Amino acid sequence: MSDEAKRKKLDWKQRLHIINGIARGLLYLHEDSRLRVIHRDLKASNVLLDHEMNPKISDFGLAKTFEGGESQGNTKRVMGT
């Protein structure tokens, strides 16, 4: 967050909420979705916050998908943003 006033609003309780939301999103992508999705480019700039400061994982340009039971493999299928 570039704005200093907004940055001060991020106390540790709010930061933990964001971290837990990102972890839940990754768990869904890796374990619970129909296709297993590996993001491969998770960083702060690829996490968006909505008006209630809920995190949303974005930019799936480098992501790879696997079928339900697969845990590894070679694939040419790359997901878009």
Among candidate residues 11, 41, 50, 59, the one labeled active-site is 41
**Could you give the CA distance from residue 66 to residue 77 in angstroms, rounded to a whole number?**
9
Give catalytic status of residue 41 as yes or no. yes
Which residue type, as a one-letter code, is found at position 18? I
**Could you give the CA distance from residue 21 to residue 45 in angstroms, rounded to a whole number?**
15
| Residue 78: closest CA among 57, 58, 63 | 63
Catalytic residue numbers read 41
